[in-house]
Amino acid sequence: MFWNKSVETMGPAELASHQLKKLKETVQQVQKIPFYRARFEEAGLRPEAIQSLDDLQKIPFTKKQDLRGGYPFGFLAVPLSKVVRIHATSGTTGKPTVVGYTRNDLETWSDLIARNLTMIGLGEGDVFQNSVNYGLFTGGLGLHAGAEKAGLTVVPAGTGNTRRQIEMIRDFGVTAIHCTPGYALHIAEVAEEMGVTLDSLKTGIFGAESWSETMRRELEDRLELSAYDSYGMSELFGPGVAFECPEKDGLHIWHDSYLVEIIDPKTGEVLGPEERGEMVVTPLVKEAMPLLRYRTGDITMLMEDGCVCGRMKKIARITGRSDDMLIIRGINVFPSQIEDVLLGLPEVGDQFMVYVDRKNHLDEMTIEVEMSREYFSGELQDLARIQKRVMGVLKDTLELRTTVRLVEPGSLPRFEGKTKRVIDRRGDL
């Protein structure tokens, strides 16, 4: 099922000419922003110099820092009176960035989300619980509007009161849910405590943070649903940028709306398909806040092969952010790798916290992890054996020695929104 078949399955030649036309329009649109006029001038670049898709590479990158410099409305290409909504990033990596939408932008955005929902078979007849924050976070109102457009019955649950969330799923016969993967796990945990099952629930849409295949299996088993990865970011409207189809092998990214490049985050060099690096996106459809070559910080690659569903080329699942990668004694570690290891060990639960310290000029990583209830005997020798085993498996996977501290089930924080598992104390004195 397609929302807009001719666009979603556009062939390469048609796509390229469409992209070039939209790119030229975008280059014109950004000239209304003083930052970009200055940028073009500094680079000795005239907007008319962009005549092919390759010319894109003449344009300097735009970084999150640049947007921060324009806080709050410096990147609007339209008067504030034409902006009908404002959102902001969750500020995972510092001060939030404000984004604005014209009426057209909201239509374009909800249309992209409707494509995604239709792609995984959702539509009229589905009851959709949107269990994310409805404030400035784009996931609330964003998914909400897209789901209404696609004809779903929307339950704007927001976050919090997990028992009530579970009652709503059961009472309303909810068939699909959207939340962070971390919160989904918590819902599973609470449903198990309540001794109830969520039989109506068939589809889970999980995003806003990176999660692994192991986590997918865990969520699919415990909630008995089919779990899909959803990717987006506020600067690119919000959720709806890329989404898994039922193949669950990479995410379709909408190339008619987003021009994608993958670069080496250190050198800025553009990489080829199947080469992993930082994704740089030029949105082609934004009116209020157009951007050129925006550095997302997210690590992925463009996949070479097409998909059996016939839609546009995919990107691989995001393995992390170039800036949430930890460097511990010179070794790159993504929190998702730790999560993957812990999910594979029945002795421990799914919740963990990572602390990084510097002692005698050496980085030390300490991982607090909850025991799983079945293995929590309280016997000291059991604890020591499990601790040793977890440290051993982590060492084999990360190629790094860590300290593991086992804590009681249920004692670590749960997150309703984005998970914050890493506390890096190396900068603190």
Residues that bind ligand ADP (CB under 6 A): 89-92, 207-210, 229-234, 296-298, 318, 321
Least distance from C-beta 252 to Zn ion, angstroms?
6
Among 179, 184, 201, 386, interactor with K ion by CB under 5 A: 201
Interface characters, 307-346, with Zn ion (x: CB under 5 A):
x-x-x-----------------------------------
Given K ion, ligand ADP, Zn ion, none, residue 10, with its beta carbon under 5 to 8 Å by kind, binds none
- The answer to the question of residue 196 lying near K ion (CB under 5 A) is no
Instruction: State which residue, 149 or 170, has the beta carbon closest to K ion.
Output: 170
Instruction: With CB under 5 A as the rule, give the number of residues binding K ion.
Output: 4
Question: Residues 261, 279: contact at Cβ < 8 Å?
Answer: yes
Residues facing 155 on adjacent strands: 129
H/E segment holding residue 413: none
Residues facing 178 on adjacent strands: 130, 205
Among 201, 245, 263, 291, interactor with Zn ion by CB under 5 A: 245
Residue 83's alpha-carbon distances to 100, 164, 210, in angstroms, are 6, 35, 31
Given Zn ion, K ion, ligand ADP, none, residue 89, with its beta carbon under 5 to 8 Å by kind, binds ligand ADP
Among 55, 224, 323, 368, interactor with K ion by CB under 5 A: 224
Q: Which contacts (CB < 8 Å, 24+ apart) does range 406-410 have?
A: 406/348, 406/368, 406/369, 406/370, 406/371, 407/368, 407/369, 407/370, 407/371, 408/370, 408/371, 408/376, 409/349, 409/370, 409/371, 409/372, 409/373, 409/376, 410/370
Quote the CA–CA distance of 212 and 218 in Å, as a whole number. Answer: 10
Question: Residues 345, 393: contact at Cβ < 8 Å?
Answer: yes
Least distance from C-beta 220 to Zn ion, angstroms?
19
User: Which of these segments, 36-44, 183-191, 244-252, 354-362, binds Zn ion (CB under 5 A)?
Assistant: 244-252
Interacting residues with K ion (CB under 5 A)? 198, 201, 224-225
